[in-house]
Amino acid sequence: MFLPLVLALVGVATAYPNHFPQSREAHDPDRVEQLERSQFFLRPPESDLVWGDLNVLHTTDIHGWLLGHQKASWPEPNYSGDLGDFASFVTHMKQQAKDKGVDLLLVDSGDIHDGTGLSDGYPPGDVDGHESNKFLRQLPYDVMSIGNHELEQYEVAYDMYMSFIPNVHRYYLSSNVNITILQPSGKPQNVTFGKQYARFTTGKYNVTAFGVIYNNASKDKRLIVQPVEDMIKEPWFTSAIAEKTDVFLLVGHIPVAYELPESKWQKIVEAIRNNTQNKNTPILIFGGHSHVRNCTKYGNDTMALQSGRYMDTIETLGANLTSPTFNFSRRYLDQNRVTYQYHIRDMNVSFDTPEGLSIAKGLADLADRYNLTYQYGMAPKDYLVFPKDWKSKESIWPLFIDKALPVALATDSGRANIPNITIMNNGVLRYNIFKGPFTQNDQITASPYPDVIAYFPDVNFTVANNVTAWLNTHPTPCSNLRKRGDIDAHYPIWLEKATSHVSLGHQEVLTDYMTPGYVTNDTSTCPDTIKGDDTLHYPIDPDVFPPHYMNSTLPPNPPRTVDLIFLNYTVKNVVCALNKLTNSSQYNAKNAKLYSNVTTNQVFGLYALAKWN
């Protein structure tokens, strides 16, 4: 197995092969076939990792993407590894560390579920993430910490408390999170969710680790998030930092960008440094939540790193703790087998470990059990959630609002012939649809929320036509709109900043075999470091956030009245807009009618069955 690997890499570097260079073992023929059909190849990394005495591999915001990114459109193939591949890589990295006589830790900063069918496609009676999280437990994580998605529903948090945390490989830390559970007597009791902190030795170093999340990360009063400012005053915390240690390891669901209001890392660093014994103790911070690659220095001997989202990035840190000045290196690895095989190429081993293969098989079995490979049709092209122009051909929004909704809702609305204006909110969709097979998994990934579609009949056309613009200019009209998910502005802003505007076609094979991908510019906040990206790319187009509300193309001949169709969860805002625009109080949420029994998470499937077959 060693020889083919080397040849494959040489092949990539010199011969521009028209196929995926390292095909997986025969156990997953569908995937190999899919990857080969797509005619792309992945550029290998530029150089070896720079190891230190203490090394860390970091993941964050995995969001159920345990099968990696399986589509052929760029930049998806850059992230085509799966959790089995990553598990094999970790095993080899641990072995390399052992051979070099150094330490390697594996840490994760939370939001492990919510994002794909593997977590969200569970059958009735099960709990989101219960099955997919079991695979993460098989990896030798030293520290895992909690994300806000683990706190959105009590049943998910409770399931994690009961079945995940007791079984993680090593430490599940949640320094500032408590959960209220019922004692056998029926009395409620609030208890720490995971451990508040851990002290352990890597063999070489004593480590003191915390796992934190940003303030106000929970809206459920049974899931208690203590503000970081209060946590650092707790006696358990002050005594934990009073114990001498070689390194502080802060893992948490907080962006490393210190300008953001939710970023409280500085407070924890200050509290640690306030104890004079810790003045020069290295502090390693691994953040998350804003879904970006980033690196920040919080003063001398303090490094903060963040490694992307959706299994697109594995970050490595190497630190020489004992050298006179604290030296470190960091690298953002594209999450794929070419990356992994490159970084273990000097080891005389075959890449796939039994554990890695078993995880990959388990994931495929779970996907089957959840019917995720069921194919509704073939998508003719890519449709993006964050296109340059939301009305463009690249955009998923006209597909959803003008094409898919009419087909799906016509199945039972009985009102297809009545002119309408349909208003959608940008929280209704979650991810792109890519050219090729459109499966149950793709439907769940793009459009997971079972939102109910409501309407008001006979709305004055002129008024109805003004509702979207009114809502977009009145962010909190009469009530606060329910916020949804992690689709927030950080990620597109980052791409905007981190990349320059270069337009690239999809599936294009570039002559010098540079491929589109992340081009991270973080050296201004991470001084004295070289570029962080492990693989060189052309920058991808920056994402552009669509308007909060968007509406359908207007009926050709303006009618007097229309059905005003909207997402039921935005009814209060729509009513508010209608009453303001008509200067009346004639509209009332109670009078909104159900437009169809079809919920938004079924729309693309119904459309694909009808039009993409």
Applying CB under 6 A, the residues found at the interface with ligand NAG are 50, 52, 178, 190-192, 201, 205-206, 224, 226, 232, 246, 256-259, 267, 270-271, 274, 290, 292, 294, 296, 299-300, 318, 320, 327-329, 371, 374, 405-406, 409-410, 416, 419-420, 422, 440, 460, 462-463, 465-466, 490, 494, 521-522, 524-525, 555, 560, 565, 581
CA gap 205, 70 in Å, rounded: 39
Q: Does 148 bind Zn ion (CB under 5 A)?
A: yes
Sign of the alpha-carbon dihedral angle for 306, 441, 27, 29: negative
Nearer residue to ligand NAG within complex by CB, 246 or 262 = 246
Q: Does 297 participate in binding Zn ion (rule CB under 5 A)?
A: no
Q: Which is nearer to Zn ion, 210 or 491 (CB)?
A: 491
| Minimum CB distance to ligand NAG smaller for 9 or for 224 | 224
> What gap in Å lies between CA 370 and CA 389, rounded to an integer?
35
Contacting residues for 111 by C-beta, under 8 A, at least 6 apart: 60, 61, 62, 63, 147, 148, 149, 150, 253, 288, 289, 486
Query: From the list Zn ion, ligand NAG, none, which binds 61 (C-beta under 5 to 8 Å, kind-based)?
Result: Zn ion
The Cα 194–Cα 166 span in angstroms is: 9
- Are 107 and 141 in contact by the 8 Å Cβ rule? The answer is yes
Q: Is residue 82 a contact residue for Zn ion (CB under 5 A)?
A: no
Of the pair 44, 147, the CB lying nearest Zn ion is at: 147
Beta carbons within 8 Å of 525's beta carbon, 6+ residues apart: 294, 295, 296, 297
C-beta of 19: minimal distance to Zn ion in Å?
A: 33
H helices of 79-172, in order, are 83-100, 117-120, 132-137, 154-159
| Residue range at the interface with Zn ion (CB under 5 A); choices 92-100, 144-152, 166-174, 337-345 | 144-152
Nearer to ligand NAG, 405 or 576 (CB): 405
CB-CB contact of 572 with 589 (8 Å)? yes
Stretch that binds Zn ion, among 142-150, 224-232, 310-318, 434-442 (CB under 5 A): 142-150
Question: Which one of ligand NAG, Zn ion, none is in contact with 377 (Cβ closer than 5 to 8 A by kind)?
Answer: none
Q: How far is the CB of 485 from ligand NAG (least distance, A)?
A: 18
119 binding Zn ion? (CB under 5 A): no
The pair of structure tokens assigned to 146 is: 């909690």
> Both tokens of residue 224?
């208690």
Task: Give whichever of 140 and 406 is closer to ligand NAG, judged by the CB atom.
Answer: 406
Strand segments, DSSP code E, in 8-85 are 54-59
Name the residue type at position 118: L
Question: What six digits make up the tokens of 10?
Answer: 């040489």
Nearer to Zn ion, 147 or 282 (CB): 147
**Under 8 Å CB-to-CB from 457, ≥6 apart: which residues?**
418, 561, 563, 593
Tokens of 340: 């992994």
**Phi, psi for residue 45 in degrees, rounded to 5:** -60, 165
Indicate the residue among 96 and 215 with the shorter CB distance to Zn ion: 215
- Contact yes or no for 153/114 (Cβ under 8 A): no
The entry of ligand NAG, Zn ion, none that residue 565 binds, CB within 5 to 8 Å by partner kind: ligand NAG
Binding span for Zn ion by CB under 5 A among 57-65, 70-78, 79-87, 493-501:
57-65
From Zn ion, ligand NAG, none, interface partner of 94 (C-beta below 5 to 8 A by class): none
Binding partner selected for residue 466 from Zn ion, ligand NAG, none, CB under the kind-specific 5 to 8 Å limit: ligand NAG
- DSSP letter at 188 equals E
- Is the CB of 247 or the CB of 311 nearer to Zn ion? 311
Per CB under 5 A, does 486 bind Zn ion?
Answer: yes
Q: Which does 274 bind (CB under 5 to 8 A by kind): ligand NAG, Zn ion, none?
A: ligand NAG
153/192 with CB nearer ligand NAG: 192
Each residue 435-474 as x (binds Zn ion by CB under 5 A) or -, in order, gives ----------------------------------------
Beta bridge partner(s), residue 253 = 213
Buried b (16+ CB within 10 A) or exposed e, 176-189: bbbbbeeeeeeeee
Q: Which residues bind Zn ion (CB under 5 A)?
A: 61, 111, 147-148, 289, 486
